Chains A and B, each alone.
Chain A
Amino acid sequence: EVHLLESGGGLVQPGGSLRLACEASGFTFKSYVMSWVRQAPGKGLEWVSAIIASGETTFYADSVKGRFTISRENSKNTLYLDMTSLRAEDTAMYYCAKPNYGVFDSWGQGTLVTVSS
């Protein structure tokens, strides 16, 4: 059974930084593209970023490009999201998701990021 466990969320001031992590189990992590998806309070789902299996290619939503960096450590079955220059509008629940040919068939429970002074 696929299991994705996010961590690293919390309260951070505007302009601050935070690193999210997602520990994966139940599947061959190093063989899959992985993604982050977020949901701001009262808003819909927003795809944030993706990274291919090898880690060599990454993709970002325009809203986070240049501020967020996705990475992975296949030896530790772990996905990361480094977030810098955080803004109030980055406040959201951040989900780690495993795409299967682009479709998110497995999700973590999410980690909450709050950007506020």
Chain B
Amino acid sequence: DIQMTQSPSTLSASVGDIVTITCRAGQDIGDWLAWYQHKPGKAPRLLIYKASNLQTGVPSRFSGSGSGTEFTLTISSLQPDDLATYYCQQYKSYPYTFGQGTKLQIK
């Protein structure tokens, strides 16, 4: 199985800050990586696919980068609505695996 490791586990930032979340894969996954936003009581929401492609309808302050084993999700200007937990997911091969999540808190 391909292990996905996110850092940090929790992150506190202020409105307007640039926020970066890192995801590391246990082996080369190319660019078969997605990022999701998950708010309590709601279904997860796809933000980024194929490492750097923005899903339709997602604000442009979200961006993704990386390939191989190192990936990042960046929020260019943090907004109050971005309070959520963020997950990376590899879909290079089954079993698909998620990172353990990064809980983003607004200062």
Q: Residues of A at under 8 Å CB distance from B?
A: 35, 37, 44-47, 50, 59-62, 95, 99, 101-105, 107-110
A35 to B94, CA, bound (A): 12
For B34, give its contact among A44, A95, A103, A109 (CB under 8 Å).
Answer: A103
**Residue contact B44 to A47, C-beta cutoff 8 Å:** no
Select from chain A the residue with minimum beta-carbon distance to B101. A44
Query: How far in angstroms is the closest Cβ of chain A from B105?
Result: 16
> What 1/0 flags go to B28-59 for Cβ under 8 Å of A?
00001010101000111110011000010000
Select from chain B the residue with minimum beta-carbon distance to A61. B95
| Chain B interfacial residues counted at CB < 8 A | 25
**Residue contact B97 to A47, C-beta cutoff 8 Å:** yes
Sample of 13 A–B contacts (CB below 8 Å): A35-B96, A44-B101, A45-B38, A45-B87, A45-B101, A95-B43, A102-B96, A103-B34, A103-B46, A103-B89, A103-B91, A104-B36, A104-B44
| Interface flag for B98 (CB, 8 Å) | yes
Most chain A CB inside 10 Å of its own CB: which residue of B1, B46, B50: B46
11 other contacts beyond A45-B38, A104-B34, with CB at 8 A cut-off? A44-B98, A45-B36, A47-B96, A59-B94, A62-B95, A101-B91, A102-B96, A103-B91, A108-B43, A109-B43, A110-B43
A62 partner residues in chain B, CB cutoff 8 A: 1, 95
Select from chain A the residue with minimum beta-carbon distance to B103. A44
A62 to B94, CA, bound (A): 11
